[in-house]
Structure 1
Amino acid sequence: MGDVELRGGELGPERGARRVRRRPGGSVRPLSEAYDTALLDLDGVVYAGGEAIPHAVEALGAARAGGMNLAYVTNNALRTPDAVAVHLTELGVPAEAADVITSAQAVARLIADEVPAGSPVLVVGGEGLRVALRERGLEPVESADVPGLAAVVQGYGGPDMPWARFAEAGYAVARGVPWYASNTDLTIPGARGIGPGNGAAVEVVRIATGGVVEPKVAGKPLPPMHRETVLRTGAERPLVVGDRLDTDIEGAFNGGVDSLLVFTGVTDVAQLLAAVPEHRPTYVAADLRGLLVGQPDVAELGGEFVCGGWRASVSGGALVLEGGGEVGAAGVDVMDGVRALCGAAWAEAGSGACGLDVGKALGRLGM
């Protein structure tokens, strides 16, 4: 990380082929100063259901004012970068189309690398996919019967996607046409809760075609999305910021970069504590305000993991959390308790998933 002054969160002895994080990391400097670029997920991080998440606009404005570059990296292939940039600007987060990287762009590059230029590609998705395919010199089509069909690509098409679109994909895939997906997120957060994502739509086609063919997937956490992001942003010290362990955090793990998990979307604390190594973020914060501050160390002392006055340990197959003060009182940071619990849980689990009882420990935090 060059001269970035980070501390804590040591990686275990398997560092190299497989990095095993035993506890969250620490940073003396605010994260917005320690990293040159934030690679921000959108759904569940910046907005949900089209509305800005509390504190997101102010935090991103402050990070940008302090010199941090902001890039928006989303698995949602529905909208074009232009449309996303307009939406962000309307929310109070000024953005240009070049600041937005989508899984549609990543999958379009993947397809363009594997089929002849100008090839017709059956699109099951929204305008974001069509624009990305045209950018790569490919022809979006809507019928499986188009002569010379070179590929089928699926991306999130919104809640009103006609059922006939899945049928077209099924016809083509069953005939052996190469199949691609922008991403396979099973869910997507919205204003009313968690809804089915593109991964659920991919499963529809998989089931209809007998379950014997797998699509090539471009989005987070897979390498094509990381490649697309690096090519478009030129980030030298990136920090991935997301709300999902299986896409944002695993994508950072696969790319060998640091990550910040925020609890404004899909992941809850119980899921974080049970995380396998590739799903363990470098840092955790309640929301995007975590970009503007340093991150406290999590110290390991005599079998306990200590952070901000909280002490976490394992006893009788359960996580135990003590100290920290009264939740809700001035100066009491429940995130420090979460960080301490992560240390105890991850150290106990090692290279696996934590199977400890976490109920009482989370109750101590009011969760």
Structure 2
Amino acid sequence: MSEHDALLVDLDGTVYRGPDAIEGAVETLEAVRERATVSYVTNNASRGPDEVADHLRRLGLTLDTDAVVTSAQAGAAVVAEHVAAGSKVLVVGTEALAEEIRLVGLEPVRAEDDEPVAVVQGHSPETGWPILAEATLALHRGVVWVACNVDPTLPNERGLLPGNGSMVAALRAASGREPLVAGKPAAPLLEQAIARVGAERPLVVGDRLDTDIAGAHSVDAESLLVLTGVSTPTGLLPAEEGQRPTYLGADLRVLGGDLAATAVADGDTAGFTARHEDGHLVLSGDGDDATAALRALCRVAWASDGWHGVRGDGPAAEKMISALGLSSG
């Protein structure tokens, strides 16, 4: 972390999965806090920052509530930029999102009959047809539409569940409209987090290429992908340029060591090498560091065109490819 003055860390799939902390996350973040500012930046708009902070404290983390930045806060700020003070806003989401609308000087409502001038949409496990119907009616009138985030899935201890993006897709289909997006990968949420701590060299950390890592690119920040949530080696190898992380680690514990060694471009590959041969990525070497092997493969994959498979050069490399969840051939 010597090259960075702030850590902007995702929550779901990065710090915790469901109610429980991911192994090593709490100890690592407590140690990092001694060297850099740590902010918790979540696309999940279902809880207020105080509730999120309480959850993190129960896990053993030390933080002030201001260290939590949510997509509900960013979504409310985006709405406020597009409507007059005191305007009515139809809220598709939790009471925590409605409270953020109040805090920016707007009036949350739940029905089209109230004649809202905007719709704001964030994740809620209670979202159902009635509120989606109200929002659809408002959208057909042409009101402003802001989505706190568009993540199609939400990781928890049981696996991947429908995220806010899945509910946004329902309104998109029903209205033919596209929302303004506040959360990652759009810039507003991360810009708010960076401004709050005055960071000049932030490091964005998360588990999703399409939100956390793409979001880092949107604010020209370096990023660390951890393999504890949504994105997997299968998705990482063909990642487009705007979704490629600067660093790659198995989990947050890589922040406790030499971060530079985990750089995809020039970090440690622990004896593994890769090459492009006959349309395949070919892994060579023998070791037990799966992320080092994956970094070697990424270097070649991202510099190559037209590869269509992965294979190992020898039994040890084949075993590693299997451990990474990549099919040989």
Normalized against structure 2, the TM-score is what? 0.92
Shift in Å at residue 68 of structure 1?
1.6
Shift of 1:250: 0.6
Gaps of 5+ in 2: 325-329
SS in structure 1 of the partner of residue 302 of structure 2:
helix
Is the contact between residue 75 and residue 183 of structure 1 (CA under 8 Å) also seen in structure 2? yes
Looking at structure 2, the residues matched to 49 and 152 of structure 1 have their Cα atoms a distance apart, in angstroms, of 28
1:323 match: 285
- 2:270 — aligned with what? 308
Go from structure 1 to structure 2 and tell me whether the alpha carbon gap of 1:156 and 1:315 turns closer, same or farther (over 3 Å shift).
same
What is the match of residue 136 of structure 2? 170
Instruction: Provide the alpha-carbon RMSD of the alignment.
Output: 1.8
1:15 corresponds to = none
AA in 1 matched with 2:63: A
Q: How does 1:72-83 map to 2 (within 5 A)?
A: 72-83=40-51
> Per the alignment, do residues 363 and 168 of structure 1 end up closer, same or farther by CA in structure 2, a change over 3 Å counting?
farther
1:44 is matched with 13
Contact 1:85 1:94 in 2 (8 A): no
Encode CA deviations 1:216-242: one digit per residue, 9 max, x unaligned: 111111122232122222112100000
Q: Distance in 2 between matches of 1:336 and 1:152?
A: 45
Partner of 2:83: 115
* Counterpart position of 1:14: none
CA distance 1:306–1:356, change in 2 (3 Å): farther
Matches of residues 343-354 of structure 1 in structure 2 within 5 Å?
Answer: 343-349=299-305
Distance 2:69 2:311 in 1: 38
Contact 1:188 1:195 in 2 (8 A): yes
2:214 to 237, 242, 250: 250
Question: In structure 2, how many angstroms separate the alpha carbons of the residues matched to 1:306 and 1:89?
Answer: 34
Q: CA deviation at 1:363?
A: 4.4
Deviations 1:41-70 (A, max 9, x none): 0000001112111111111111113x2211
Gap change, CA 1:97 and 1:278, over 3 Å in 2: same
Q: Equivalent of 1:99, from 67, 79, 97? A: 67
Please state how far the C-alpha of 1:253 moved relative to its aligned partner: 0.8
Matched, 1:340 2:309: no
- The offset of 1:100, in angstroms, is 0.7
Q: TM-score, normalised by structure 1?
A: 0.82
1: distance between equivalents of 2:264 and 2:156?
A: 33
User: How far is 1:339 from its partner?
Assistant: 0.9
Partner letter of residue 121 of structure 1?
A: V
Q: Cα distance, 1:359 vs. partner?
A: 5.5
Q: What residue is the counterpart of 1:21 in the other structure? A: none
- Asked whether the equivalents of residues 270 and 358 of structure 1 are also in contact (C-alpha less than 8 Å), the reply is no
Q: Size of the alignment, in residue pairs?
A: 317
Pick closer, same or farther for the CA change 1:95–1:359 going to 2, 3 Å: farther
SS state at 1:113 partner: helix
Distance 1:137 1:362 in 2: 59
For residues 216-365 of structure 1, the aligned pairs below 5 Å read: 216-294=180-258, 295-296=260-261, 307-325=269-287, 327=288, 333-349=289-305, 355-358=307-310, 360=312, 363-365=319-321
Q: SS state of the match for residue 134, structure 1? A: helix
Shift of 1:167: 1.0
Mean Cα displacement is larger for which, 253-262 or 168-177? 168-177
Q: Matched residues in 2 for 1:359 and 1:244: separation? A: 25
Q: How big is the shift at 1:358?
A: 2.4
CA contact (8 A) 2:283 2:311 kept: no
Counterpart pick for 2:127 among 140, 145, 161: 161
Distance 2:318 2:104 in 1: 48
Check the 8 A contact 1:37/1:70 in 2, yes or no: yes
Write the distance in 2 (CA, Å) between the matches of 1:145 and 1:231. Answer: 37
SS of aligned partner of 2:74: helix
Amino acid across the alignment from 1:63: V
Counterpart-to-counterpart distance in 2, 1:174 and 1:51: 41
Structure-1 separation of matches of 2:143 and 2:264: 51
> CA shift at 1:364, angstroms?
2.6
Give, in angstroms, the shift of residue 306 of structure 1: 7.6
1:194 aligns with 2:160: yes
